[in-house]
Amino acid sequence: MEHLVFLTGRLAQRNLEKVLHGMEPAPFTWEVREIGLQVAGLMTADMIRRRVEAPVRADRILVPGRCRGDLDELSRHYGIPVERGPEELKDIPRHFNRAARAVDLSRHDTLIFAEIVDAARLDIDAIVARAHALRTDGADVIDLGCLPATPFDNLEDAVLALKGEGFRVSVDSLDLAELRRGAGAGADYLLSLTPDHLWLADETDAIPVLIPRESGDEASLHGAVEHLLKRGRPFLADAILDPIPYGLLASLCRYQRLRERFPGIDIMMGVGNVTELTEADTSGINAVLFGIGAELGIAAVLTTQVSGHARRAVKEADVARRVMYAARETHSLPKGLSDDLMTVHAKRPFPDSPAEIAEIAAAVRDPNFRVQVSEQGLHVYNRDGHHIARDPFEFWPRLGLQDDGGHAFYMGVELARAEIAWSLGKRYMQDQPLDWGCAVDRAPQDLLAHCAPGPTKTKRAARSDASPPPLQAQAHDL
């Protein structure tokens, strides 16, 4: 059985041992080594090399998730892998469960068509810039939306510019003349052709998206599908998803019947009628729709980002298609694969109980403030005391920061984050931004670089005692 050595700090040692004992029977044997520092989150690769003698009798060494420095170099030094664990020690069981499953989220089988709905009103540079942003979020095809009674004079130039930048392009219009112009310029897809306009498919190499003559007219869509199947032409078929409460369930049933009748065809589903026209967080809506899409084998999804509440629809679609593909292919529920679609609430928001936080607080011997969150509320503690409140303003008279503007500002920021986390049920970690999943872009963190702790409690101009200035605040990382 594999033997692991967990490196930690004094404040975290006892809780880490509790977590590991709670995993028994664990798939490994283990030991915990406290390497002579108080806060595990301040551990660095250089510190480990100085304080942990080689050789280490183990198969792997695990260090805190925010340990900075070159772990590859440490691995060479000790002759065994040195790896980062999760940032929060209570996540260790989940960390090993995910590692054991080894689910690949790089794979999917659904194309994302991202529509630029106002393309007819934009200049070429703006269209190309929008396309690059959409591709960054996960779009595979840029859909140029054409507006009724709005001339799209630079349609051909837009198609050529996007093709020149390596994009796949679709033209989305009810005007046959615009579809012909787009196809002539080299568009890859045409949205959309009714059964009355199938002749246009014979004039171009662009792949048509077939729709029924009228919404709900399954017979006309099925007839168009049969026509192009006989001609051996590639196509996508779209049964049209209707909004709530105007037939969503009935339209989903049409997609199911389309799949049952034509098991091998490529189907498109436009989700904007639900994501845009339902005032609810779109991350959950996309999760459900892409789960349905995975069951139906949907080959392409058309999505939009028009309403402000749907501003991350493409990124959410990219995450959802990967999660639902993995769930389907591994015959498992879409749980424990990714947290990116849980943008508002966390599954395990409060890893530490009030009693556990109190135990940690009692062991602190320095003046630096730690901030944690439990079901009980916000906790602020240092060597001088442990305070609990739900309103950050209640802490103000207890912290003694009236003459320390910089530290007061820092604590204001941290307590605001902590209050949001407690109110919504999100995970909070001091000195770290809140995790909003795929709802926001996250700057990559370079753990190879050393990061000096930020000043949060400066030496006051006038001090009544002769004690040394307090240390800088340290991230609370167990």
Assess whether 61 and 37 both reside in one domain: yes
**Residue 254, in any domain of the structure:** yes
- Among the three residues 329, 353, 368, which one is the final residue of a domain in this structure? 329
Q: How confident is the model at residue 24 (pLDDT cuts 50, 70, 90)?
A: confident
**Residue 334, in any domain of the structure:** no
Assess whether 125 and 165 both reside in one domain: yes
Q: Which residues pair with 270 in a beta bridge?
A: 302
Q: In the prediction, which pLDDT does 464 show?
A: 38
Domain hosting 361: range is 344-478
**Residue 11, in any domain of the structure:** yes
Greater confidence (33 vs 450) lies with 33
Convert the pLDDT of each residue in 304-333 to its tens digit: 999 999 999 999 999 999 999 999 999 989
Assess whether 115 and 96 both reside in one domain: no
**Residue 306, in any domain of the structure:** yes
Assess whether 69 and 187 both reside in one domain: no
**Residue 217, in any domain of the structure:** yes
Is residue 99 classed as helix, strand or coil in its secondary structure?
helix
Q: How confident is the model at residue 460 (pLDDT cuts 50, 70, 90)?
A: very low
Convert the pLDDT of each residue in 270-294 to its tens digit: 999 999 999 999 999 999 999 999 9
Assess whether 205 and 324 both reside in one domain: yes
Alpha carbons 48 and 84: distance in angstroms, whole number: 13
Alpha carbons 379 and 357: distance in angstroms, whole number: 8
- 313 to 114, 286, 316, 319: CA distances (angstroms): 9, 8, 5, 10
Assess whether 310 and 393 both reside in one domain: no
Q: Give the count of domains, the chain.
A: 3
Convert the pLDDT of each residue in 406-450 to its tens digit: 999 999 999 999 999 999 999 999 999 999 999 999 877 766 765
Q: How confident is the model at residue 27 (pLDDT cuts 50, 70, 90)?
A: confident
Q: What is the mean pLDDT of the chain?
A: 91
User: For 85-148, where are the E strands, in sequence order?
Assistant: 111-116, 141-145
Q: How confident is the model at residue 99 (pLDDT cuts 50, 70, 90)?
A: low
**Residue 52, in any domain of the structure:** yes
Q: In the prediction, which pLDDT does 38 show?
A: 87
Q: Residue 478 above 60 pLDDT?
A: no
Q: In the prediction, which pLDDT does 452 show?
A: 52
- Among the three residues 329, 352, 382, which one is the final residue of a domain in this structure? 329
Assess whether 15 and 78 both reside in one domain: yes
Q: Residue 470 above 90 pLDDT?
A: no
Per the CB < 8 A criterion, the answer to whether 158 and 170 are in contact is: no
Looking up residue 220, the CATH number of its domain turns out to be 3.20.20.20
Q: Residue 56 above 70 pLDDT?
A: yes
Assess whether 86 and 115 both reside in one domain: no
Structure-token match 């240390």, residue found: 471
Q: Using alpha carbons, select from 75, 62, 67 the residue that is nearest to residue 449.
A: 67
Tokens of 50: 């100085």
Residue 3: exposure state from Cβ atoms within 10 A (0-12, 13-18, ≥19): middle
Average pLDDT over residues 254-275: 98
Assess whether 230 and 117 both reside in one domain: yes
- Among the three residues 101, 128, 163, which one is the final residue of a domain in this structure? 101
Q: Using alpha carbons, select from 419, 427, 407, 412 the residue that is nearest to residue 476.
A: 427
Convert the pLDDT of each residue in 101-132 to its tens digit: 667 899 999 999 999 999 999 999 999 999 99
Q: Which of the 8 DSSP states describes residue 349? A: -
**Residue 311, in any domain of the structure:** yes
Assess whether 408 and 297 both reside in one domain: no
Assess whether 242 and 391 both reside in one domain: no
Amino acid identity, position 43? M
Query: Which strands sit side by side in the sheet containing 111-116, from one edge to the other?
Result: 236-237, 207-210, 189-193, 168-172, 141-145, 111-116, 300-303, 268-270
Looking up residue 48, the CATH number of its domain turns out to be 3.40.50
Convert the pLDDT of each residue in 216-226 to its tens digit: 999 999 999 99
- Residue 45's contacts (CB-CB under 8 Å, 6 or more residues apart) are 67, 68, 69, 70, 71, 73, 74
**Residue 106, in any domain of the structure:** no
Q: In the prediction, which pLDDT does 453 show?
A: 53
Assess whether 369 and 300 both reside in one domain: no
Q: Residue 58 above 90 pLDDT?
A: yes
